Amino acid sequence: MSKTGCDEGGGNISEESPEKSPSERIEPLVLVKLGEKVRPETKRWLIRLIGAPQKDGGAALLVHPGEDATGDIIMVSAPRCTLLQATEELGLCKTYNTGEMETFSYDDRDNFRYSDNMEMFLTLAERQYIIKYELEGLRARRDVRIPGLDDKYTLQHRDNIWQKLTAAGVVVDTFPLHSKAKLKELSKSWYAGNQLSQPLDSVNAYFGSAVGFYFSFLDFYTWSLIPPALLGLFITYFSSEVQKEAMEAVAGSQAEIHEEDSGLSVSGHMIQAVFSMLWSTVFIELWKRRSSSTSYRWGTLHLAERFSEPRPAFHGHLGMNPVTGRMEPLFPEWQRDLRMALVSIPVVGLFLGMVILGMLCFYWGENQVMWLHEEWDSVVSQTLLYAPSVLHIVYTNVLATVYKTVAQSLTEFENHREESAFQNHLTAKVLVFTFFNYFAVLFHIAFVKQDVPLLRKRLASLLIVTQLVNQVTEVVVPFLVDHFVSAPHRKESEDDPQEDKFRNQSKLPVFPGLFAEYIELLVQFGYLSLFSCVYPLTAVLLLINNVMEIRSDAYKICKLFRKPFSAPVANMGVWQIAFEILSFVAVVSNCWLLTLSPQLQRMRHEGQMSSADIMVIAVMAEHVLIIVKVIVAALIPDEPGWVQKKRAHMQYKSMQALRQQNLPSEES
Amino acid sequence: MSKTGCDEGGGNISEESPEKSPSERIEPLVLVKLGEKVRPETKRWLIRLIGAPQKDGGAALLVHPGEDATGDIIMVSAPRCTLLQATEELGLCKTYNTGEMETFSYDDRDNFRYSDNMEMFLTLAERQYIIKYELEGLRARRDVRIPGLDDKYTLQHRDNIWQKLTAAGVVVDTFPLHSKAKLKELSKSWYAGNQLSQPLDSVNAYFGSAVGFYFSFLDFYTWSLIPPALLGLFITYFSSEVQKEAMEAVAGSQAEIHEEDSGLSVSGHMIQAVFSMLWSTVFIELWKRRSSSTSYRWGTLHLAERFSEPRPAFHGHLGMNPVTGRMEPLFPEWQRDLRMALVSIPVVGLFLGMVILGMLCFYWGENQVMWLHEEWDSVVSQTLLYAPSVLHIVYTNVLATVYKTVAQSLTEFENHREESAFQNHLTAKVLVFTFFNYFAVLFHIAFVKQDVPLLRKRLASLLIVTQLVNQVTEVVVPFLVDHFVSAPHRKESEDDPQEDKFRNQSKLPVFPGLFAEYIELLVQFGYLSLFSCVYPLTAVLLLINNVMEIRSDAYKICKLFRKPFSAPVANMGVWQIAFEILSFVAVVSNCWLLTLSPQLQRMRHEGQMSSADIMVIAVMAEHVLIIVKVIVAALIPDEPGWVQKKRAHMQYKSMQALRQQNLPSEES
């Protein structure tokens, strides 16, 4: 029943009213770039396929073939009917006429607000994603030869057409088009002025919920840094005051001041450590609440990805899906688990081992050249001093590049049914590796070398250097490139045909995804929560960095890249788990670092406490803090009460509907 | 719509066919015992109320007034229509004509198997619970004076009638009746023979799912004890072998044997500890899987308690429930949270503090009398030696009794909407206290006194004494009481009227609930997982105990008590969480105990390892084990794949139903 009532199909935009340019009548949403050698008959076939009704195996979209039939672009838009059906299929929530958000139902469309005006009803990002969804979901109904192509590209029954066309070089690129007017409006309210808050709903509307969630998290995280930053400032100011006093009172009893200072410093560290451990829990829990209410507002609380078609690259034996009762490829769960256990995990472990190996070789090499230098002390040996660092950097970078490709193929091999599962597994793999890469050295210093001053020095320099490098690479360089290198090449005049402007967008680089942005935040959060007690100003530096980061990230995504497709998502996915795990590791790390604090070590040397006593205290503190964290996390519900009620109401309604559905004619 | 089609009501069993005795025609399921001074007009009014259709505010049940109108009992049964509607309301799943379990829908009743034969369709326990549910759910539709009662018992609008009648002394007792034939059959297949497996489905059918889950867990737990029992036997045998060898080779090098022995014993302890930690995780995770598939089989996977009427004692301002849209008392969540935070938790904490205080006083007193005895050494001082123990036992028992009442009122005060929430909070409160009471002394010995030999002695004696005491109090005493004291009083002859036999059941003691049974298992599990490494034979003793426990518990519930009402439940509730928490505490406890093992202590004294080294090793082992536990728990899904699929299918169907429901007439 899901496909009834919409079978008139999409058709050709230009066919219907040839006298108007496409952009004046229906805004093209997605541009499909074809290969240069594509024959006109192939293009015609493709246009017909995209426009054909879904009952005939088409995508029921609106197509404009560009200025002429031989051009290498196709512009695609979507008619109301296709959009509404896809909205139901994706499980998006929309405003009902009561003002509440309800999962959209095609049969009940007239009771949803704005359901006659697609520009109001769906966001730009949603409409563009639906087009991608329909195009990539195209499957051959029977064996078909594609006109103008080799026989080896003949479509078999249920072949994914878009994948085949990409493999054959017919489709080179598919990307959503920027809307200049909306983009201008968005950038004005986002990063052009001095505003403190971001227009998150507009970001979601323009870029989709994945990007929206990133900026919402960045926003929340930045403002959450204020309490630890204030505490850090306070502690730094106070302990330097004490130090100054100590200097001034140098004539007085040395021992007394010494003791006072050490006492304060220990307690300062402890306050900092305990505070940051509890802060991180409250932060994560409150973010979950904000995330779920954001998800409600953006209509992604009840996504139905599990119940829709599997992602295009998913393969398996054709069979009946036991959940939906549809025929589709099936792949047994145990086989995926087996592949993960026997292939993915060992391979990831191997790469992590290679990171450690690299680090050990680096330390070994450094010792060797130091020794050599001491022995010979020549120019050659002085140059050699840099060799281990250089080699280690090269090794690390090569390893990271190789790993990314390997992670991609491993995740493909795991054959996930849903796009979100695929993304989460891929992210998790890269995340573990990257995180390990960043923190292996710091952990080594903290736990093996047990050298707190070095850790403090390293942390401070990392924080400052990373920030400078980031700001330069993220904002300054792209801005310069954009202004002086790229811009002249794609200068546009008002007189250019609209189509050329669209075509120009394909010259922008592809948006690299949010991975780098998220990992930056995670690494920051790691510095802050794992090692904050050795360097109290961490939060201050991060706060300054993030206020700028918001602007630079916004500028980047708006100006410097093609618009990305963005699937509707209900939360940050695996990133949220990563932040949560980190906040637990933080407790262990902080408690350990406190045992290494110089004051405690001195007490140990002076015989006031045995090292076993210190250990017992640290372990007890750790256990208490972890229990407190678990309890706090359990006590703060993950969803605000009103979202819980909406969810329960939804379940109640579906239960009622299920009870009534079987005998609709019996209703009295 | 939920109440249409069933408004003919129940009525009076005897009115319809006065020539037959009630038991021959419709089996009475529940007996309502009235107060002795209840006037006939009150009884008549009550009978009319119970039999009246639900649209008139009645319970739509079948009533038999006993031998005459003035007797002090009413027997209640339920007609098909009321049963079916309540089945829908409770959200029970029943077998559909496809053979799958589906949530029952009244409108679709004809497609469910056996829906024309209530004895097959619903279990005895379910039918009896539904009668209780209907009776206790009776609410006054308007202000009504109850005939034959004081004006102070006048019913106001929406007053709970059953509560009022109980308060007025009209209703003294409501309990389900045993079915002699079914009980005989059940006991034969349960505990009469030497069978190893329990007839769990029959237990569920007869006693309901709460009891069913207890016995299912007991069963699962008992068989799970086999691996640790085997390991314990193996370790005990092996280490005594080594000791014997050591004895024999006493002429040889003393030091060598000594070392060998200690090495083995440490590794034996370690194997035992690591094994029991991992075993407990796997055990809990596998139980969760078994629990969910059991719940599917028993039709309680989709209970709709949240969506039905609040429990009778729930009070609040009348308002619209935002989830179901019905008018009912509402009580804000934050107020309940506030009551828990400001009243319940401090009071519970106070009582826990009093347990500790009692323990400290006991130790202080014991030291005092020891000192006195040494000083004086008279008969008086010798008698005084027992005083602390006696006082402590009295104190503990008084405290426990007071606490139970306090916990009950606290939970009432928290005003939970659902019966299951009420039960879980009550259980959790008593559980924490009882557990604390049992383990405070053991923890004190292990972690404050750090006296492993004493702990071992204490544990062994507790295990053996507890088992003997349990077997005696649970089986032998009740059996003797039943056979020689109670039985003669309620001897029945075949000629007695059926009604007297029913009346006799009211002389049996009330079933005390499963709390004592569960806490026994939990304490056992605590001995096993927390301290098993000091006494490897724990599992063996527990295994023997539990095999007998299954029989004694079964005998008890079948023969010695009134049949209890049992609400349908989907799992063990708070008990499962308690077992899970305990299995985490076990890791900490075992790792700590290993540091106290005599061999490691000797190594410390001999200077082979510093105590700080031992601590570091123990802490690292603990962290690794906890991480392994968390990962194992995350990797084993809580539900078997097929249950997950059924659940997803259910959600898919409700989603589809929700989408279609609004326009049922549009179906083509």
Instruction: List, run by run, the mean pLDDT of 10-residue segments along chain A (668 residues).
Output: 46 46 64 86 88 86 75 87 90 88 86 86 92 89 83 83 88 88 87 82 92 94 92 83 62 45 60 85 93 93 83 86 85 90 94 91 87 82 81 87 93 91 92 86 82 80 77 73 64 61 78 86 87 80 87 86 89 91 88 78 77 82 90 89 88 82 46
Compare all CA atoms of chain A with the CA of B616 and give the residue at the minimum distance. A615
Mean pLDDT over each residue of chain B, to the nearest integer? 82
Compare all CA atoms of chain B with the CA of A641 and give the residue at the minimum distance. B333
**CB distance from B379 to chain A under 8 Å?**
no
Nearest-Å Rg of the Cα atoms of chain B is: 29
Domain end point (choices A143, A177, A211): A177
Closest approach of A659 to chain B, Cα-based (Å): 5
Q: Give the whole-angstrom CA distance, residue B494 versus residue B482.
A: 20
Contacts (Cβ under 8 Å, ≥6 apart) of B242: B260, B261, B264
**In this predicted model, which residue has the larger pLDDT, A531 or B94?**
B94
- The pTM of the full predicted model, rounded to 2 decimals, is 0.86
Q: Is residue A89 domain-resident?
A: yes
**Quick one: pLDDT at residue A5?**
45
Q: Is the domain of B619 the same as that of B543?
A: yes
pLDDT at B294 over 90: yes
In the block, tokens 């808050």 appear at A197
Interior angle at CA A485, CA A483 and CA A486, nearest 5: 80
In the block, tokens 């002076």 appear at A606
Contacts (Cβ under 8 Å, ≥6 apart) of B219: B197, B198, B200, B550
Give me the number of domains chain A comprises: 2
Suggest the residue from A661, A662, A668 to mutate for an interface test with chain B (most B CBs closer than 10 A).
A661
**Quick one: pLDDT at residue B258?**
46
Q: Give the whole-angstrom CA distance, residue B644 versus residue B652.
A: 12
Q: Is the domain of A168 the same as that of A212?
A: no
**Quick one: pLDDT at residue A266?**
58
**CB distance from B250 to chain A under 8 Å?**
no
Q: Is the domain of A515 the same as that of A559?
A: yes
Which residue type is seen at B609? M
- Are A659 and B111 an interchain contact pair (Cβ–Cβ within 8 Å)? no
pLDDT at B5 over 50: no
Contacts (Cβ under 8 Å, ≥6 apart) of A176: A29, A30, A31, A125, A128, A129, A131, A132, A563, A564, A565
Question: How much of chain B, in percent, has pLDDT values that exceed 90?
Answer: 19
**CB distance from A584 to chain B under 8 Å?**
no
**Quick one: pLDDT at residue A201?**
92
Q: Residue A303: what are its φ and ψ, rounded to 5°?
A: -60, 145
Min mean pLDDT across A197-206, B442-451, B569-578, B602-611 is at B602-611
Q: Which helix (H) or strand (E) covers residue A646, if one does?
A: helix A641-661
Q: Is the domain of B80 the same as that of B157?
A: yes
Q: Are strands A73-77 and A101-103 parallel, antiparallel or unpaired?
A: unpaired
Enclosing domain of residue B30: 3-177
**In whole angstroms, what separates CA A54 from the centre of its chain?**
33
Q: Please report residues of A whose CB lies closer than 8 A to that of B307.
A: 648, 652, 655
- Contact in structure between A418 and A311 (CB atoms under 8 Å): yes
Q: Are strands A101-103 and A327-330 parallel, antiparallel or unpaired?
A: unpaired
Q: Is the domain of B129 the same as that of B229?
A: no
**CB distance from B581 to chain A under 8 Å?**
no
- Contact in structure between B326 and B308 (CB atoms under 8 Å): no
> Among A38, A59, A39, A62, which residue's Cα sits nearest to residue A49?
A59
- Are A619 and B623 an interchain contact pair (Cβ–Cβ within 8 Å)? no
Q: Mark out the alpha helices in B52-199 (DSSP H runs).
A: 80-90, 118-121, 124-136, 161-167, 180-187
Q: Is residue B439 domain-resident?
A: no
Q: What is the mean pLDDT of residues B566-572?
A: 89
User: What are the CA-CA distances from residue A44 to residues A12, A51, A65, A503 (Å)?
Assistant: 11, 11, 9, 20
Contacts (Cβ under 8 Å, ≥6 apart) of A555: A187, A191, A475, A479
- Contact in structure between B585 and A550 (CB atoms under 8 Å): no
Q: Is residue B360 domain-resident?
A: no
Between A105, A108, A659, which is nearest B88 by CB? A659
**Quick one: pLDDT at residue B261?**
46
pLDDT at B495 over 80: no
| ipTM confidence score | 0.82
Q: What is the mean pLDDT of residues B622-646?
A: 89
Q: Please report residues of A whose CB lies closer than 8 A to that of B450.
A: none
Contacts (Cβ under 8 Å, ≥6 apart) of A282: A632, A636
Q: Is the domain of A239 the same as that of A109?
A: no
Question: Residue by residue, what is the 3-state secondary structure of B532-579?
Answer: HHHCCCHHHHHHHHHHHHHHHHHHHHHHHCCCCCCCCCCCCCHHHHHH
Q: Is residue B185 domain-resident?
A: no
Interior angle at CA A416, CA A583 and CA A122, nearest 5: 80
Q: Is the domain of B626 the same as that of B573?
A: yes
User: What are the CA-CA distances from residue A14 to residues A25, A628, B346, B653 (Å)?
Assistant: 10, 65, 75, 41
- Are A660 and B658 an interchain contact pair (Cβ–Cβ within 8 Å)? no
**Quick one: pLDDT at residue B223?**
92
Q: Is residue B61 domain-resident?
A: yes
Q: Is the domain of A208 the same as that of A142?
A: no
Q: Is residue B327 domain-resident?
A: no
pLDDT at B4 over 60: no
**Quick one: pLDDT at residue A129?**
93
Q: Is the domain of B468 the same as that of B606?
A: yes
Q: Which two tokens stand for residue A600?
A: 């405690």
Q: What is the mean pLDDT of residues B78-92?
A: 89
Between B107, B322, B660, which is nearest A649 by CB? B322
Q: Is the domain of A156 the same as that of A210?
A: no
Between A1, A107, A662, which is nearest B107 by CB? A662
**CB distance from B97 to chain A under 8 Å?**
no
Q: Is residue B186 domain-resident?
A: no
Q: Give the whole-angstrom CA distance, residue B113 versus residue B91.
A: 16
The secondary structure of A47-98 as a DSSP string is HHHHHS-GGGT----EEE--SSTTSSEEEEE--HHHHHHHHHHHT-EEEBTT
**Quick one: pLDDT at residue A660?**
76
The maximal CA–CA distance of chain A, rounded, in angstroms, is 101
Burial of B154 (0-12, 13-18, 19+ CB in 10 A): middle
Interior angle at CA A646, CA A644 and CA A650, nearest 5: 115
Which residue type is seen at B86? A
Q: Give the whole-angstrom CA distance, residue B69 versus residue B73.
A: 9
Q: What is the mean pLDDT of residues B519-534?
A: 84
Burial of B217 (0-12, 13-18, 19+ CB in 10 A): buried
pLDDT band at B665 (very low <50, low <70, confident <90, very high): very low
Q: What is the pLDDT of residues B327-369, one digit of tens each?
A: 888 898 889 999 999 999 999 999 999 999 998 898 888 888 8
Burial of B244-271, coded b for 16+ CB within 10 Å and e otherwise, reads eebeeeeeeeeeebeeebbebbbebbee
Q: Is the domain of B170 the same as that of B204?
A: no
Which residue type is seen at A2? S
Which residue type is seen at A566? S
**Quick one: pLDDT at residue B23?**
41
Q: Is residue B608 domain-resident?
A: yes
**CB distance from A335 to chain B under 8 Å?**
no
> Among A90, A186, A149, which residue's Cα sits nearest to residue A568?
A90
Q: Are strands B11-12 and B62-64 parallel, antiparallel or unpaired?
A: parallel
Between B649, B656, B664, which is nearest A667 by CB? B664
Q: Which two tokens stand for residue A532?
A: 């904050």
Q: Running DSSP on this structure, what letter comes out for residue A496?
A: S
Q: Are strands A327-330 and A317-320 parallel, antiparallel or unpaired?
A: antiparallel
Q: Is the domain of A216 the same as that of A144?
A: no
Q: Residue B64: what are its φ and ψ, rounded to 5°?
A: -125, 125
Nearest-Å Rg of the Cα atoms of chain A is: 29
In the block, tokens 């949803």 appear at A112
